Structure 1
Amino acid sequence: MKHEDPETPSSAGSPRRSRVELWAPFLVVAVVAAVVWASFWSDSAVDDVASDRSTASQATAADVADDTDDTDGSREDAGERTGSAGAEPENVEPEQLEESVRRFRAAQRRLAARVSRQVKEVQRRTTEPFEFQVASYNVLGDSHTGPGGNKPGFPDGGPRMDMSIAALRNNGIDVVGFQEFEQSQHGMFTSRAGEYSLYPGMSLGNKSVRFNIAWRSDVFQLVEAHTLSIPYAGGSRIAMPVVLLESISTGRRAWFANFHNPADTPNLGNNARWRAEAAAIEVAHLTQLHQTDGVPVIATGDYNEREEIFCRFTAGGVFTAAAGGSSAGGCAPPPSMQVDWIFGSTGVSFAGYSVTGTGQASDHSMVHATATLTGDDAATTGDPEGDLE
């Protein structure tokens, strides 16, 4: 569909066109003629005009529009003093031409200065460190505590969700990766914690809803989202979320991914093979995302591993764990480990890592930390590709 510029009246029943609109083509021609004629008077003047045009070419179309009055005034002066587009140059006084060119160049210099200030401000905001709270939290699926569930000593899903929301609010969590987040819990959360947005929500069905990422809508906005197909128990594939979020206050961006790798249980069997395959897919995909355009990456999840998953994520030197540990000279995990983890790529630093019990809200603690997007590897306006599976 062809869209009509709202500032350009249609041909039928249009309001009368303004003087600037009617004369703009002729004024542009007149200015060009004036600049050509100026070359006969001073080679240096022509050089100045070329230099100023090069500087002004950095201005955006929106900024040029802001200075329409200045530039149109200069063009009108030039048009009045040179006559129509076909006027002979002999009718132009050198002093008049120089004044018109001077005013035109001055307007362009003002535009260039304004754009330069705006660019510097954007660069400052999008490269300065940005700090927020991130968490990983297995909420214990509603089916585990309902009729016939395997956790009979826990309250049902409703009271547990209230406790979980309170834990998020009390710890100021801005972004959280949920696991075992079932459809009923999704409904409870969205109706009781409206300050958060979610992906994928229920858009991918009852399987993928269990791995939602939630973020505070007044802190981040969603830029892009896709999923990664991860082998779960027995190798069955489930789509798990990856989102690109942007800080509303600074424009800083980061990728967030959330995973749940299969456990070994009497019902599920031994899934070490699938955990290893899942981790390989996760690390490879997130490493590629980060290396494509330098945007930092944070991964949350219940990986159902301790030392093994730490070593898998940190082996390449791209990721570190919020819980600590080191990969320099070999794999040295932190002394105390959960099966729930937060990992960050280069460009992310962590502080204040905590394991917070949530009472009977879940059989898992909530792990969380202060994450900082540092000035390193800052990238804000890339166009990463993501395929929704």
Structure 2
Amino acid sequence: MLRAHTPTGIRGLPVAAALALLLAASLLVGAPARAATEPSSRPGGKPTGFGFKIGTFNVLGSQHTRGRGGYAPGTQRARWTAGAITQRGIDVIGLQEVQRDQLRVLRNRMPGYRIWPGTALGNQGVRLQIAFRKKQFRLVGHGHVMTRFHRQTRPIPWVELRDRRTDRRFFVVDVHNSPKGLERERDSATAKQVRLVQRLRRKGAPVFVTADANEKREFYCKMTSRTDLRAANGGKPRARGCQPPRRRLRIDWVLGGKKVVFSHYREDRGPRVRRSSDHELVHARVRVKPLRRR
């Protein structure tokens, strides 16, 4: 009995069926396997979570220790400050009360860091500086808002940084508010700083604030009740009213948004810090959570 001849492909299969099998196989080979525990990642497969150490420090400006007194000249204290920052492995730090002679020392003694704004915002803008490790972060944006400080107007700087490993962005705002009885100036400045944090958060990236606020409970409550910021040393901003951190309150603060986790919080008074300033060097580790899958 004669059979009708049908063209065949792979092992006697019809050509059309064979081609379909080959196409399906090629698609399967090209599709990467995805493990159930795969972390969130950006294009390129790099994990989106990242961490670093952040700090804040009032360096005690040179003008406060000129002549005789209990502290060394400002430039010598700036050398100790640079040593304290690098020795502790701080990756991002907001500095307050910096003066030009101290800025020059910090730049020379912290070669692995970029410092902004430097002198870009004029003489008043020198007082507040944000330093960050150049190998770890890239500066992609910056700006400032003007506030009242000790009967003068001066800029509050902020930077937008991009983590080089993960390509994730975040903002850092450096704050110094008026001391002692200048309550109205502090209130006005804090209100502007709250609005700045709100505006930056709308850009979708975490915001950090490093501050010598010259206030304890009031600054904390205003910042945390009107933004998503939390303090590195704890507290409950909305639970039964504002509850600041339980430990002894300071006027120096490190705060970050809800998508970050703080740990290893320290109020540092090591030998170099004690000789450098009348403030603690406040620092903490922070972990920015991975992005959710879309």
TM-score (norm 2): 0.82
Answer 1 or 2: which has greater helix percent. 1
SS in 1 for 2:233: coil
Larger radius of gyration: 1
Q: Which residue of 2 aligns with 1:288?
A: 199
Identity of aligned residues (%): 32
Alignment pair present for 1:245 and 2:166 = no
Change beyond 3 A, Cα 1:377–1:140: farther
Q: CA deviation at 1:240?
A: 1.6
> Within 1, Cα distance between the matches of 2:256 and 2:149?
23
Q: Which residue of 2 aligns with 1:145?
A: 65
Q: RMSD across aligned C-alpha pairs, in angstroms?
A: 3.0
Q: Are residues 1:125 and 2:40 paired?
A: no
Match for 2:120 among 170, 187, 203?
203
Please give the alpha-carbon distance, in whole angstroms, between the structure 2 residues aligned to 1:163 and 1:298: 25
Q: Which runs of 4+ in 1 moved over 3 A?
A: none
Give the secondary structure class of the aligned counterpart of 2:226.
coil
Distance 1:239 1:120 in 2: 37
Q: Quickly say closer, same or farther: Cα 1:324–1:276, change in 2 above 3 A.
A: same
Matched ranges for 1:82-231 at <5 A: 122=43, 124-125=45-46, 127=48, 129-147=49-67, 152-231=69-148
Kept after mapping to 2: 8 A contact 1:245/1:255: yes
Q: Is the 8 A contact 1:223 1:245 kept in 2?
A: yes
Aligned pairs (5 A) from 1:294-309: 294-309=204-219
Match of residue 253, structure 2, among 341, 344, 347: 341
- Aligned in 2, Cα 1:330/1:361: closer, same or farther, shift over 3 Å? same
How far off is 1:377 after superposition? Answer: 7.5
TM-score of the superposition, structure 1-length normalised? Answer: 0.63
CA distance in 2, matches of 1:303, 1:351: 22
Deviations 1:205-262 (A, max 9, x none): 221111010001111110111111122123x321121110011111121100001000
Contact 2:41 2:291 in 1 (8 A): no
Partners of 2:291 and 2:189 lie apart in 1 by 29
| Deviation string, structure 1 residues 57-113 (Cα, Å, up to 9, x no partner) | xxxxxxxxxxxxxxxxxxxxxxxxxxxxxxxxxxxxxxxxxx9xxxxx99xx89x97
1:273 paired residue number: 184
Counterpart residue type for residue 46 of structure 2: R
Higher relative contact order (CA closer than 8 Å, sequence separation 6+): 2
Q: Unaligned stretches of 5+ in structure 1?
A: 1-98, 100-104, 265-269, 379-389
Q: CA deviation at 1:370?
A: 0.4
Contact 1:347 1:376 in 2 (8 A): no
C-alpha separation between the residues in 1 aligned to 2:176 and 2:292?
Answer: 28
Q: Assess, with a 3 A threshold, how the Cα gap between structure 1 residues 191 and 377 changes in structure 2: closer, same or farther.
A: farther
Instruction: Give the secondary-structure state (helix, strand or coil) at the position aligned to 2:144.
Output: strand
